[in-house]
Chains A and B, each alone.
Chain A
Amino acid sequence: MQTKITKIPHDKPELIEIQCHSVSDEVREIVAFVKSRQGRVSGMADDKMYEIAVVDISYIEAVDNKIFIYTDKDVYESRQKLYELEDILKKKHFLRISKSMLLNLMKVDAITPALNSKFTAVLFSGEQVVISRKYVPDLKKALKGEIVK
């Protein structure tokens, strides 16, 4: 795929246009990246496509090979893979907290110890999600402002 950048005057709105033969996964990935840079990701609910503001997302979970985006009130299904969303949302304070979940740290009210060597993240909504022990070092790094690979 070739790329072309054209400078435009300030009075015209900026636009990214993709000319493609078919809307492949690669194209979707590029679109998702651009949207995430603008603070939005796409999600389906009731057969309709919605643009969800990243700041509204509490967590993203993979269940039976499907990806669900949870906000305080709604649940959306995403066509993207969890690792793709992880890559896109890393810089927006999203962190992998288990094999199947990405958590928006900005939505976490407190962290409490859990019974079986894990921690629990208590969200502002009152919901609780489990942080696996394996991902605790990444959480510590993220909270210190270090880059999590």
Chain B
Amino acid sequence: MTFKEFILSRVQVFFVLVTLILFGSAVLGEIYAPEQELRYYHMFSPILLAGACVLPTCVTYFKKEPTPLQYILRQALELAIIEVIVMLLVSPPPSYSGSETVFYITLGIMILIIYVLIEIMTWLQKYRQAKKLTEQLKVLRVKE
């Protein structure tokens, strides 16, 4: 993977993260602090949070092809880094009256769900790419 390809993949992950964090915030807010009112500057939070999550994922950059095990380990490390960063940056809203532990567990699960959704989306994109290549292969065979 070239560095350019890697940067492009990170930009893609960034935008997916912004969308999913926005969705996650809406779900968590609706559950734990439905009466909370938001200001305009709150809208920057998903962008900042996505940026903070994407930057440390540079640990997954590989110049040489990784083995499946190396790939899985790097993905696990990436998830762990994102979990830690979000836990450090996000705190329960002032109006939240429940247990902090429950809040952080819910947040952790939400991050995991978002991460898995990104992986699924990336996989689907690759699947579509593979399908297109197979179709082109069939066309090439017919031409021959």
Contacts and interface: CB of A to CB of B under 8 A. Distances in A.
B59 to A, nearest CB: 15
A71 interface: no
Contacts, number: 52
A115 B130 contact: no
A128 to B, nearest CB: 13
Given A119-B126, A119-B133, A143-B136, 14 more contacts: A106-B144, A108-B137, A110-B137, A111-B130, A111-B133, A113-B123, A113-B126, A115-B71, A115-B72, A116-B67, A116-B70, A134-B1, A143-B137, A143-B139
Interface of B: 1, 65-68, 70-72, 123, 126-127, 129-130, 133-134, 136-137, 139-141, 144
A57 to B, nearest CB: 15
A39 to B, nearest CB: 13
Given A106-B141, A145-B140, A132 B123 contact: no
Interface residues of A, number: 21
Interface of A: 93, 105-106, 108, 110-113, 115-119, 132-134, 139-140, 143-145
A105 B129 CA distance: 17
